Amino acid sequence: MLTTYIQSAMRHATYEILDDQTFYGEIAGFQGVYANADTLEQCREELQSVLEGWIILGLRMDHPLPEVDGLRLDSVPESV
């Protein structure tokens, strides 16, 4: 379920090239989840890493997480 949620969220990511020719990515509805890197692939990888940490922190702090494509995460798995 967690992997599916992350994959769904990443499909909603948007990217742009900044004036310094680096890539910036973010996911609408996921406040504070953004990344900046030299290549698009690095930006995607960093964005996913930031997203994963943001989800874990949100679950541990019992914050509501956004619904993505009908998917919801409401509690942290014991193994995380």
Question: What is the domain-level CATH number for residue 48?
Answer: 3.30.160.250
How far is the CA of 61 from the CAs of 36, 57, 65, in angstroms?
26, 6, 11
> Is 11 inside a domain boundary?
yes
> Is 69 inside a domain boundary?
no
> Is 70 inside a domain boundary?
no
> Is 49 inside a domain boundary?
yes
Q: What sign has the CA pseudo-torsion 51, 66, 55, 70?
A: negative
State the pLDDT at residue 1: 87
How does the average pLDDT of the chain come out, rounded?
93
Question: Per-residue pLDDT for 78 more than 70?
Answer: no
Q: How confident is the model at residue 77 (pLDDT cuts 50, 70, 90)?
A: low
- Cβ neighbour number for residue 9 with a 10 Å cutoff: 25
Domain that holds residue 38: 2-60
Element containing residue 2 per DSSP (H, E): helix 2-11
pTM of the shown model: 0.89
> Is 72 inside a domain boundary?
no
Residue 2, CB half-sphere, CA atoms under 13 Å: how many?
Answer: 14
**Mind listing the pLDDT tens digit for each residue in 50-63?**
999 999 999 999 99
How many domains are there within the chain?
1
> Is 6 inside a domain boundary?
yes
Question: Per-residue pLDDT for 70 more than 90?
Answer: yes
Element containing residue 46 per DSSP (H, E): helix 40-60
